[in-house]
Structure 1
Amino acid sequence: MVVKSQLKYIKSLQQKKYRMQYKRFVAEGFKTVEELLRAGWKAELLFATETGLDKELGSNTQLISPKQMSQISSFKTPSKVLGVFEVPEAGEVDFTDWIVALDKVRDPGNLGTIIRLCDWFGITHLVCSTDTVEAFNPKVLQATMGSIARVDITYTDLPSFLKDADVPVFGAFMDGKSVYDTELPSFGILVMGNEANGISKEVSDVIRNKISIPQYGKPSAESLNVATATAILLNELRRS
């Protein structure tokens, strides 16, 4: 049973200010919760609505009714599993492999998809500007499908981070050099920009290499979705 104090606490974590205050976040869905537990993330509370699921997740899982789950879930159609986890400390960024950096990416679905792409392509470090959407937003977590457990995410002053980085920095621009004509190193930083405005001027000023994805056929679409563009560029980074 979810007691009144737990209900209030869990519902408060739907807001960023309380996630920041308590350093906790809510993860929903069996796959996401299972992935986080498997990766060793610390769960403060675990709930399940079906006998069997509670046994799979661990002895500290509380069995609750679907009605109670709907009271603590942030989704219109609640899942069968929900967990409250500690926000992990960001690890030290490893510059010996490729790093993805995001400049003012605002859409939760895009960030969640990019986290999944980093997981798929073996990118373990994702660096975000401080005004990029928060990684523990419920919609971001849902879109990651558990991949957030394997990607280390850091929020920082992006221009300063790039300026201090002693590795090649590549940014995605509409007028950049074709990625297919660019010699790509085995490590560096790939910067992706805001959905509407691309990479900001303050970040652009410290990017040494500007690359693009060429358009084929008759010009029509203004640009690619940032997550789609990230997928194409990460494929080229790994292929080369």
Structure 2
Amino acid sequence: MLSKRLIKYFKSLQLKKYRHQDRKFIVEGAKGVSEVLQSDYVIDYLLTTKVYAELLPTDQLSRVKEVIEVTENDLKTVGTFQTNSAALAIVSMKDDSHLGIPEDQLVLALDDVRDPGNLGTIIRIADWYGIETIICSLESADFYNPKVINASMGSFTRVKVYYRDLKEVLSSTKLPVYGALLSGENIYNSQLTNNGVLLMGNESQGISPELVPYISHSVHIPRRGAAESLNVAIATAVILDNFFR
């Protein structure tokens, strides 16, 4: 049974201030919880319905520090989902103090992507294309926001996300930097490498002017219809697809 103290604590993790203060975050629903149980994340609490717990392998349950059987209403009270018939996990954040940019892979850099749904979807897209590293600007949405975790559909367990001053990162790398700009070369005609940094910009403003000088190859997706713009997550998918053709 959940105590009032634990309910208050778990609900506090919906706020960035308390997440980062305690270095804990929430994972909700059958898909997300299943993924995190199979990952190397440390799981402090697992709130689970009896039905869902019976479906979990014993070795996965043994990884959890404390398992608490709850009702669906308890899960709704503590989490952000309107309905949740499975589980909710309280997970420890990983150490992200050391940023390693692989020189033989493509890395994503996100400049001021503020919508949690967009960030979560981009993480899922990155996972689809085998991108292991994403570097976000300090102003970007919080990786541990429940909306980001939920939108990633479990891909947060396989993609490393760092927060850094992008100006410092881009000015120090020797890798080619591809930037999505309206003035860029047609992506379908571009010569693309299998390593480098792909820089995507803010949902409405695009890439910050201060970062443009660090772009060595600017690209754009040619418009054939009348739509004013593309969602940043969709644009990321289109561009990444061309890197791997």
- Normalised by the length of structure 2, the TM-score is 0.93
On the 8 A contact 1:171/1:192 being kept in 2, the answer is: yes
- 1:86-125 matches, within 5 Å, as 86-90=92-96, 92-125=100-133
Residue 23 of structure 1 corresponds to: 23
Q: Which residue among 207, 221, 224 is the counterpart of 1:216? A: 224
More deviation in 23-32 or 71-80? 71-80
Q: Which residue among 52, 74, 94 is the counterpart of 1:68? A: 74
Fraction of identical pairs, as percent:
40
Counterparts of 1:196 and 1:113 in 2: how far apart (Å)? 17
On the 8 A contact 2:36/2:154 being kept in 1, the answer is: yes
More deviation in 137-146 or 66-75? 66-75
On the 8 A contact 1:125/1:153 being kept in 2, the answer is: yes
* Structure 1 residue 79: Cα displacement: 4.4
Counterparts of 2:118 and 2:73 in 1: how far apart (Å)? 31
Q: Pick closer, same or farther for the CA change 1:204–1:8 going to 2, 3 Å.
A: same
**Partner amino acid, structure 2, of 1:155:** Y
Alignment size in residue pairs: 237
* Structure 1 residue 30: Cα displacement: 1.4
More deviation in 206-215 or 49-58? 49-58
**Tell me, what secondary structure is at the counterpart of 1:194?**
coil
Matched, 1:58 2:58: no
* Structure 1 residue 63: Cα displacement: 1.0
On the 8 A contact 2:52/2:86 being kept in 1, the answer is: no
Q: RMSD value over aligned CA atoms?
A: 1.4
Unpaired runs of at least 5, structure 2: none
* Structure 1 residue 205: Cα displacement: 2.2
* Structure 1 residue 65: Cα displacement: 1.5
Counterparts of 1:79 and 1:170 in 2: how far apart (Å)? 43
* Structure 1 residue 121: Cα displacement: 0.1
Residue 80 of structure 1 corresponds to: 86
Counterparts of 1:136 and 1:33 in 2: how far apart (Å)? 14
* Structure 1 residue 145: Cα displacement: 0.5
Runs of 4+ in 1 over 3 A off after TM superposition: none
Q: Pick closer, same or farther for the CA change 1:216–1:81 going to 2, 3 Å.
A: same
- Normalised by the length of structure 1, the TM-score is 0.94
Counterparts of 1:170 and 1:153 in 2: how far apart (Å)? 19
**Tell me, what secondary structure is at the counterpart of 1:51?**
helix
**Partner amino acid, structure 1, of 2:228:** E
Measured against aligned partners, the alpha-carbon deviations of 1:54-75 in whole angstroms (never above 9, x if no partner) come to: 5615154221112222221122
**Tell me, what secondary structure is at the counterpart of 2:90?**
strand
On the 8 A contact 2:26/2:88 being kept in 1, the answer is: yes
